[in-house]
Amino acid sequence: MMWPPSLLTNRSEETSTSAAIAAIAPKGVRVGCRIIRQGDEAQLLPDEARSITSRHVAARRASGAARWIAHRLLAELGVTDCAVLREASGAPIWPGGVTGSLAHDERMAVAAVAPAAEIDCLGIDVEPATPLPDDIVALVARDAEMSGMGNQPLSGRLLFSIKEAVYKAVYPIDRLILEYEDITVDLNAGQAVTKTNHAVRLAYCVTPRIVVLAYIPA
């Protein structure tokens, strides 16, 4: 049987990204990815579909893809038939005893879950492995952060992804909105510190996509 080239590309990208993020995941954290497909909005459970207020098909499709992953990761923890609802802030609502995070870009969705007894809080982000426009880099990064990363072409995009993941990780603790300047990244130390004094550990890969995990162990 001959597979369409687009399907083969999707399978290859999913396989390589899955291997890359599995390699960086800290102990206790389960991760997964999925290329967003036409019809993935149907992956939303009924309660999930009602909790997501956006009527844009692309947004609902990405949410469906991310929750498709989350349902499978939760099942690995013994949690089945559980809807991952969306609260008003946009954050997912996880079942008791579990912490987790969802993310997507225009092409791929990712999810991460962990037992709350092992991981206190968890954030994930995914970005294309392409340079971030200079005007956005100026909003996201301090000069010291960029120089500490060697000013490589993907440094700005990586910093952006790190700060997104850190925000997702700590928001459930303080329920505060953090700006980019409220998060300081020290890649050499493998951590970021927020203005609310949370030291968040980092794990990341940059190929085939940029995926960042930000977490605080229990």
Express each pLDDT in 164-178 by its tens digit. Answer: 999 999 999 999 999
pLDDT of residue 152 exceeding 90, the answer is no
Cis ω on the peptide bond leading into residue 5 (within 30° of 0)?
no
Alpha carbon distance 61, 126 (integer Å):
16
pLDDT of residue 101 exceeding 70, the answer is yes
Q: Supply the pLDDT for residue 9.
A: 58
Burial class (CB in 10 A: 0-12, 13-18, 19+), 67: buried
Q: Classify the C-alpha dihedral 156-160-166-169 as positive or negative.
A: negative
**Average pLDDT estimate for 183-190:** 94
**Average pLDDT estimate for 72-98:** 96
**Average pLDDT estimate for 103-118:** 98
Q: Classify the C-alpha dihedral 82-76-108-171 as positive or negative.
A: positive
Closest CA relative to residue 84, chosen from 124, 121, 112 = 112
Alpha carbon distance 127, 20 (integer Å):
14
**Average pLDDT estimate for 23-50:** 97
The one-character DSSP state at 4 is: P
Alpha carbon distance 214, 163 (integer Å):
9
pTM, two decimals, is: 0.94
pLDDT of residue 180 exceeding 90, the answer is yes
Q: What are phi and psi of 178, to 5 degrees?
A: -105, 140
Sequence-ordered list of residues with C-beta below 8 angstroms from that of 174, at least 6 positions apart, any chain: 196, 198
Q: Supply the pLDDT for residue 149.
A: 80
Token couple for 105: 């870009």
Sequence-ordered list of residues with C-beta below 8 angstroms from that of 138, at least 6 positions apart, any chain: none
State the chain's mean pLDDT as an integer.
Answer: 93
Alpha carbon distance 137, 146 (integer Å):
9
pLDDT of residue 105 exceeding 70, the answer is yes
Q: Let me know: does 89 contact 67? Beta carbons within 8 Å.
A: no
What are residue 34's DSSP bridge partners? Answer: 109
Q: Supply the pLDDT for residue 11.
A: 79
Q: Supply the pLDDT for residue 4.
A: 41
pLDDT of residue 99 exceeding 60, the answer is yes
